[in-house]
Amino acid sequence: MGTALIIGSGPAAAGVALALTAQGSHEVTVIDVGTTLEPDLRSVLTRLGEADEDSWSPADLARIGLQPVPARRGLLPEKRAHGSDFPFRDVGQRQGVEAGGPANDAVVSGAYGGFSNVWGAQIMPFSKATFDRWPLSMLDMEQHYRVALSEMTLAGEEDDLAELFPLLVPARSLPPPAERTERVLRRYGEHRALVQSHGITLGRARLAFRADECTRCGLCMTGCPYELIYSSAHTFDRLRARNRIAYRNGLLALRLEEMGGVPQVVARDTRSGRLERISADRIFVACGGIGTTRLVLGSLGLFDEPTYLQESVQFVVPAVSLRPVGDPRTARNFTLNQFNLLYDASGEGRDLCQVHFYDYNPAYLGSLPPALLRKGAGPALAAVLRRVSVGLGYVPGWASPRVELVARRSRTEDALPGLEVGRQGADGWPPMLRGLVLAMLKAAPALDLWPVVPMVSVSAAAKSYHFGSSFPHADSRGARVTDRTGRLAAWERIHLVDASVFPDVPATTFTLTVMANAHRIASETLEAAR
């Protein structure tokens, strides 16, 4: 029986683990920094999950319901998971990362489950046309999408989005939508041809959560107390419970090496500081787009020169409806993405912008003008909340400024290289975003969904977390391109498996393809070894 080592525990790592354990031909070890929710907050979460909602303690709710925390200028507030910052906390994996200007420096997670602890749970495949510039096709990906969708538990509907984004697996029904979402989708159905003539298609959200168990308690965005929203930690919990993998936490990968055909990783124990060299027949690197890039640059000595990543730039577009709904603060709704707006700039199913629209959640209040929150402003605040939706959108990576990384040699062997994070090119609106906003304005009378153009904002570099393409798949291996199993020319048995190998980073939902492509890489690697 062979041995395999996976570095990381995010969705890419989960995809690899699913493939390797399904075959049963390898002893699988996972090394991970592995930060988890603090024990006192875990106790609160367990207490809420086991109790009737009518008996939930306000003090417990306040502890796990911490709203996003304001970050640096140009960055959206940083989410919390059950009241904790553990998905972002630096326990060594961010040491030496320096952000230029307003760029995001919290770009590598040390958490068990990675950033899937705080993601928005949106899951759709990439469109068929997206793969036209990849050395593989949608047909190559379909079976791996199905594995990932089944593992994540898809909730969604067959609607107009399915023309470009088929469901691929049976889906659980979504909870009833919020009143405003219901109205917008109804108006879309009544004016479909007109809206689509502007390049816009609408449909319900596609989400990775056990929707049929949802009680609509409204805590989705701060952490579901029933843990119904998928995290890759769930996959690893299950595999560990069944003794399908050996999991070792507290290990930070510092260098990759391959000598005499034997791949190795040098890792530091984050508790003792001790260095350890770990070998296996194959190593699968799943540290996230920037985490993997940093590890590879340091391992290959690629210092002091820029490396560019595609980023699907993130933007926020508030929207108002002229016809108010009831006060959303009194409604019982789930607060994940309610519906998607898709803008096809070219009509070919590739140059797509996607906007995920959210109904009310308390995080809105921190973004409103202070005057609306003052004593006596209650009627005005209610009038605003009855009309406002917020869209979180993305522009494809090939139509967005790129993220620029520069690795700097570390002075010691027990540290990762320094990493400077910035943006290549000017900040501001990418041209495709202008096209989207113009199309939304044209469709607004039909949908009663008016973008508030002066409040549209573009996030700073590396804030979308949809970045990759530093070592993209190509038809053959090279110094900076990988073959279809994620191997660079320097290595035979070390495979990069996360978004660092994406040839393109579309604007459409990202994490599903990260997991599915990692599953494909591991599956094809096993097949080739037979």
Model pLDDT for residues 414-432, shown as the tens digit of each residue: 899 999 999 997 778 999 9
Please name the helix (run of DSSP H) or strand (run of DSSP E) that holds residue 437, with its range, or none.
Answer: helix 431-447
Question: Helix, strand, or coil here: 193?
Answer: helix
CA distance 456 to 451: 8
Q: Which amino acid is at 280?
A: A
Please tell me the predicted confidence (pLDDT) of residue 529: 77
Place of tokens 């194959």: 282
Which residues, other chains included, contact 468 with Cβ-Cβ below 8 Å and sequence gap of 6+?
289, 309, 310, 397, 498, 499, 500, 501, 502, 505
Please tell me the predicted confidence (pLDDT) of residue 482: 98
Two tokens at 416? 């990762």
The length of the chain, given as a count of residues: 530
Model pLDDT for residues 349-386, shown as the tens digit of each residue: 999 999 999 999 888 777 788 888 888 889 999 999 99
Please state the three-class secondary structure of 135-196 as a single string: CCCHHHHHHHHHHHHHHHCEECCCCHHHHCCCCCCCCECCCCCCHHHHHHHHHHHHCHHHHH
Please tell me the predicted confidence (pLDDT) of residue 73: 58
Two tokens at 190? 């009544």
Please name the helix (run of DSSP H) or strand (run of DSSP E) that holds residue 269, with its range, or none.
Answer: strand 262-269
Q: With a cut of 70, which residues of the chain have pLDDT below it?
A: 71-75, 530
Nearest partner of 486 among 261, 293, 311, judged by Cα: 293
CA distance 152 to 234: 9
502 — phi, psi (to 5°)?
A: -65, 130
Please tell me the predicted confidence (pLDDT) of residue 363: 80
Place of tokens 């070894």: 529
Question: Helix, strand, or coil here: 445?
Answer: helix
Please state the three-class secondary structure of 11-67 as a single string: HHHHHHHHHHHHHCCEEEEEECCCECCCHHHHHHHHHHHHCCHHHCCHHHHHHHCCC
Q: Which amino acid is at 347?
A: G
CA distance 324 to 56: 31
